[in-house]
Structure 1
Amino acid sequence: MRDKTLTDKNATDLANLQAPTLADFEMLAGEAYERLPEDFRRLCDGVVIKIDDFPDDDTLREMDCETPFDLLGLFRGIGLAQGGGMMQTGQFPNMVWLYRRPILDYWAEHEESLGHIITHVLVHEIGHHFGLSDDDMEAIEAATGEG
Structure 2
Amino acid sequence: MSTPTDWAGLRAPSLAEIEALADAAFAALPEEFRHLCAGVRIHVDDFPDEETLTEMDCATEFDLLGLFRGVGLAQSGEVATGQMPNAVWLYRRPLLDYWAEHDESLGHLVTHVLVHEIGHHFGLSDDDMAEIEAAADAITDG
Bin for the TM-score computed over the shorter chain: over 0.9
After the TM superposition, which parts of structure 1 deviate over 3 Å for at least 4 consecutive aligned residues? none
Secondary structure of 1:144's counterpart equals helix
Q: Which of these residues, 19, 22, 25, is aligned with residue 29 of structure 1?
A: 22
> How far is the alpha carbon of 1:12 from its aligned partner?
2.1
Deviations 1:2-55 (A, max 9, x none): xxx23x5xx323111100000001100000000000000000000000000000
1:142 is matched with which residue? Answer: 134
1:124 is matched with which residue? Answer: 116
Paired positions, count? 139
Report the TM-score when normalising by structure 2.
0.94
Q: Which of these residues, 75, 82, 90, is aligned with residue 82 of structure 2?
A: 90
- CA RMSD between the two structures: 1.4
Secondary structure of 1:80's counterpart equals coil
Unaligned runs of 5+ residues in structure 2 are none
1:53 is matched with which residue? Answer: 46
Query: Percent same amino acid among aligned pairs?
Result: 68
Report the TM-score when normalising by structure 1.
0.91
Partner AA of 2:44 in structure 1: I
Deviations 1:46-72 (A, max 9, x none): 000000000000100000000000000
Unaligned runs of 5+ residues in structure 1 are none
